[in-house]
Amino acid sequence: MRPRTTTTTLIMSASLALFGAWATADDAPPAGDPTLYSPAAQETVNRAMAAMGGAALFDSVESVSYDCAMEDEQGVMLMKVKAKNGAGVALEQSLTPPGASDPIRRQSLTTNTSAGWARDLDEGGLQIMPSGVAASIARAGDQWSLLRSATAQFRQVDHAGPAVFAGRASSKLIFTNPRSPGLQQLVMYLDDETGLPLGQETATSSGTLVSGVARVDEWQTVNGMMIPKRIAVEGQTGQSTLTFSNVAFNGVPASTFETPSDVQSMLVAGAN
């Protein structure tokens, strides 16, 4: 794959990392490694889940697809995401620069349980992604589920008392003891009035992840679940706004993430 396409992949991984806790398409802690909550934190999380539609609805989600438009100084990056628990994450992305009408740098990026690969949709190039980049792409599958993603990525959640976030009175939760390399901690703020997450701050230590702040500016209801529609992010790479649309659940087949023959050949060649 040409260097400019690889650069786009790395930009994509950095922008996703602003949200902190998006490491796999599964949004539940691994069996035998439960997330531990202080009593006050558990009460706050339960209230938030009830405000978003109830834990049972979120537990019923096996797959998700959605479009996400990320606007920043580079233009508008459109991402079409598909994710399935235990199978993988696939997305197509393109960038429309400021003032332009046609997208450029069209790519498909896919990761499954064994590999990650990037394909240039304009020129046909193919590259096996490094594991760190593949993990960043995998986080795209969890962007729709802010709270569940955070609880899946950290082993400990504590209530840190009252706070103010985006001008609103809130409860402050601190997520520590991360399951993913590079993450240090995540601080989430939940609205005292509605119970909904207002946003979060992420601290990281890895070069493939970026510390930053995410603020939920607008919500939408899909299949009875309240999920973010618009999120503003700010971090080391600047400011951007993400808008989610065309969200659908439980319609993505596992075959979407099967390793194609040309990728398999590259994996075999790389192993020899």
- If phi over 0 gives left and psi between -120 and 50 gives alpha, with beta otherwise, what is residue 86? left
CA 195 centroid distance within chain:
21
- Where residue 132 falls among pLDDT bands split at 50, 70, 90? low
- C-alpha to C-alpha distance for 155 and 188, rounded to whole angstroms: 15
Please, which residues bridge with residue 79 across strands? 68, 93
Enumerate residues 6+ apart whose C-beta is below 8 A from 69.
76, 77, 78, 79, 242, 243, 245
| Count of beta carbons in the 10 Å neighbourhood of residue 264 | 14
* Degrees, nearest 5: CA angle 83-175-145: 25
Q: Please tell me the predicted confidence (pLDDT) of residue 33.
A: 84
Give the model confidence (pLDDT) of 106-130 as tens digits.
Answer: 999 999 988 999 999 998 899 998 8
More confident residue, 42 or 209: 42
pTM summary value: 0.82
At 218-265, the pLDDT tens digits run 999 999 999 999 999 987 668 889 999 999 999 999 999 999 999 999
Give me the residue spans of the domains in the chain: 3-271
CATH code assigned to 3-271: 2.50.20.10
pLDDT, mean of residues 165-193: 90
Q: Cα 223 from chain centroid?
A: 20
Q: Which amino acid would we find at residue 129?
A: M
